[in-house]
């Protein structure tokens, strides 16, 4: 029961769509075209300065909210004690663990190396 005379419609949604939908129409101005060309020709500019001092790098990581989940297996009684201390300090278990790792476990050079790798990745300097 298909219609054999039917032909597929070839529509460029960007071009044709602006005529159908006036609420979300994309009006391209000369300024937008120039800025688009400018962005394509120049490499991306770095938005954030690279931190050099260790204290600032450590504070950056302590205040950084981007996290990835990682499981730590501890005896239940130790977990409860750490949680109790974290609650008294108005911190989460993760914040306490992060501070302990940054202050007592990782060396200064390891933290700096991790920061430099992250910085290069964030700013497109390293794949």
Q: How confident is the model at residue 41 (pLDDT cuts 50, 70, 90)?
A: very low
- pLDDT of 45 > 70? The answer is no
> Considering only CA atoms, which of 66, 62, 60, 54 is closest in space to residue 112?
54
SS3 track for 52-115:
CCHHHHHHHHHHCCCCCCCCCCCCHHHHHHHHHHHHHCCCCHHHHHHHHHHHHHCCHHHHHHHH
- pLDDT of 108 > 60? The answer is yes
Residue 25, judged by CB atoms within 10 A of its CB (0-12, 13-18, 19+), counts as exposed
The answer to whether 25 and 18 have CB atoms below 8 angstroms apart is: yes
77-90: pLDDT as tens digits? 999 999 999 999 99
DSSP 8-state code for residue 5: T
The average pLDDT across 47-75 equals 86
16-20, 31-35, 120-124 — which one is most confidently predicted on average? 120-124
- pLDDT of 126 > 50? The answer is yes
Give percent above pLDDT 70 in the chain: 65
Q: Which pair of structure tokens corresponds to residue 22?
A: 């006036």
The average pLDDT across 55-81 equals 88
pTM: predicted TM-score of the whole model, two decimal places:
0.54
pLDDT at residue number 82: 92
What does the alpha-carbon distance between residue 33 and residue 54 come to, in Å, rounded to a whole number? Answer: 43
What does the alpha-carbon distance between residue 37 and residue 22 come to, in Å, rounded to a whole number? Answer: 26
């Amino acid at each position: 029961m298909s219609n054999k005379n039917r032909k597929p419609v070839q529509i460029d949604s960007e071009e044709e769509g602006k005529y159908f939908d006036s609420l979300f129409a994309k009006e391209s101005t000369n300024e937008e075209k120039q800025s688009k060309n400018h962005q394509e020709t120049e490499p991306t500019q770095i938005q954030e300065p690279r931190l050099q001092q260790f204290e600032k790098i450590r504070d950056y990581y302590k205040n950084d909210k981007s996290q990835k989940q990682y499981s730590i297996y501890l005896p239940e009684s130790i977990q409860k004690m750490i949680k109790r201390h974290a609650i008294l300090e108005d911190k989460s278990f993760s914040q306490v663990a992060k501070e302990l790792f940054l202050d007592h476990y990782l060396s200064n050079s390891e933290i700096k190396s991790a920061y430099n790798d992250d910085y290069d990745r964030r700013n497109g300097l390293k794949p």
